[in-house]
Structure 1
Amino acid sequence: MDKTERVEEIRRRLQLALQPVQLDVIDESHLHAGHAGALTGKGHFAVQIVSPQFAGKTPLARHRMVYAALGEMMDEDIHALSISANTP
């Protein structure tokens, strides 16, 4: 999967699972060139997501919801993920 496909797949999975009212997925892999994790071919991403489903959830629970939505991508395609998860 190339970088563009990864961003689109991340976006698709998060939209499907969390129905966000705002979603930005940023590929930051270029900022980590030469980093040990970059050698695996996995990417570095930042996600800014706003979803009503986060209401009443702790920050840790919100992050777990994002990880669950991404599933095996966390093992196979994503080396690092920065998450900003908020309610509307």
Structure 2
Amino acid sequence: MPMDSVEIERRIKAAFPDAVVLMVDLAGDGDHWAARVTSAEFAGHSRIAQHKMVYAAIGADMGGELHALALQTFVPAPAPPTP
């Protein structure tokens, strides 16, 4: 059974509590997802390392229950200074 977006987001947020996650079903089949994940925990890590961090959060189901996940990872923009 494919992993749904709620479970993917739950696992990501369990690993990155500050994460903002946007999920998109790419094929309409509940098996091919795109995720845009923004978290301060990505700061100082390469894009490849950020993606590995997310895949680790999903765990062993990556490639099994979750067939495909297209990832975009971001560090939040710093807050503007207060006057």
Superposition TM-score tier, normalisation by shorter sequence: 0.7 to 0.9
Pair 1:61 & 2:44 matched:
no
Q: TM-score, normalised by structure 2?
A: 0.80
- Does the 8 A contact of 1:14 with 1:20 survive in 2? no
- Does the 8 A contact of 2:16 with 2:41 survive in 1? yes
Identity of aligned residues (%): 34
Segment drifting more, 45-54 vs 67-76: 67-76
Any idea what the Cα deviations from partners look like across 1:42-81, whole Å, max 9, x if unmatched?
7110000100100000000000001000002203212221
Q: How many residues are paired up?
A: 76
Q: TM-score, normalised by structure 1?
A: 0.75
Show structure 1 runs of 5+ residues with no match: 34-41
Show structure 2 runs of 5+ residues with no match: 77-83
> Structure 1 segments of 4 or more deviating over 6 A?
none
Q: CA RMSD in A?
A: 1.9
Query: Which structure's CA Rg is the greater one?
Result: 2
Q: Could you say what secondary structure the match of 1:77 adopts?
A: coil
> Which residue does 1:36 correspond to in 2?
none
- Does the 8 A contact of 2:35 with 2:71 survive in 1? yes
